């Protein structure tokens, strides 16, 4: 996570009868790194083809088509639905194939399905 704070500072300078207006923007960047006290993420065992189960229904869902469609989840994706991971996207976003289609879901809405043999 990175934060950026910026404020613009303006000042004028007169030299040889000509007035120059100069502005600059100082920046402060704060970076946050992970600490060793955080528990390991269970998402690391997820990969393409892994079975998953929905644990929380998202409020809105986005299709994983070439022209994605964002719509309110009106009971299409429910807790307990199972599917498979099709691909990984940035920021813990996954393309998941469910029985009703392929959707982009955040990793907090599902977990890996433990299959017993």
Per-residue pLDDT of the chain (117 residues; tens, 9 = 90+): 454 455 555 555 666 666 566 555 666 565 555 555 545 444 457 888 889 999 999 999 999 888 989 999 998 999 999 999 999 988 889 999 999 999 999 999 999 888 776
Domain for residue 28, yes or no? no
Q: What is the pLDDT of residues 101-110, one digit of tens each?
A: 999 999 999 9
What CATH number should be reported for the domain holding residue 78?
A: 2.30.30
Domain for residue 17, yes or no? no
The dihedral through the CA atoms of 53, 57, 62, 63 has a sign that is positive
What is the number of structural domains in the chain? 1
> How far apart, in whole angstroms, are the C-alpha atoms of residue 105 and residue 85?
10
Domain for residue 107, yes or no? yes
Task: Provide the domain limits for residue 82.
Answer: 50-112
For residue 40, what is the DSSP state? P
Q: Is the pTM of this model over 0.75?
A: no
């Amino acid at each position: 996570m990175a934060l950026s704070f910026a404020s613009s500072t303006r000042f004028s300078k007169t030299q040889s009868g000509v007035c120059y207006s100069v502005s600059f923007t100082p920046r402060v960047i704060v970076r946050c790194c992970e600490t060793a006290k955080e528990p390991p993420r269970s998402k690391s065992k997820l990969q393409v083809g892994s079975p998953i189960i929905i644990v929380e229904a998202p409020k809105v869902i986005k299709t994983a088509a070439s022209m994605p469609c964002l719509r309110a989840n009106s009971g299409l994706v429910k807790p307990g639905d199972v599917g498979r991971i099709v691909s990984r996207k940035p920021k813990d976003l996954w393309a998941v194939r469910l029985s009703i289609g392929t959707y982009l879901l955040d990793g907090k809405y599902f977990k890996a399905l433990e299959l017993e043999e």
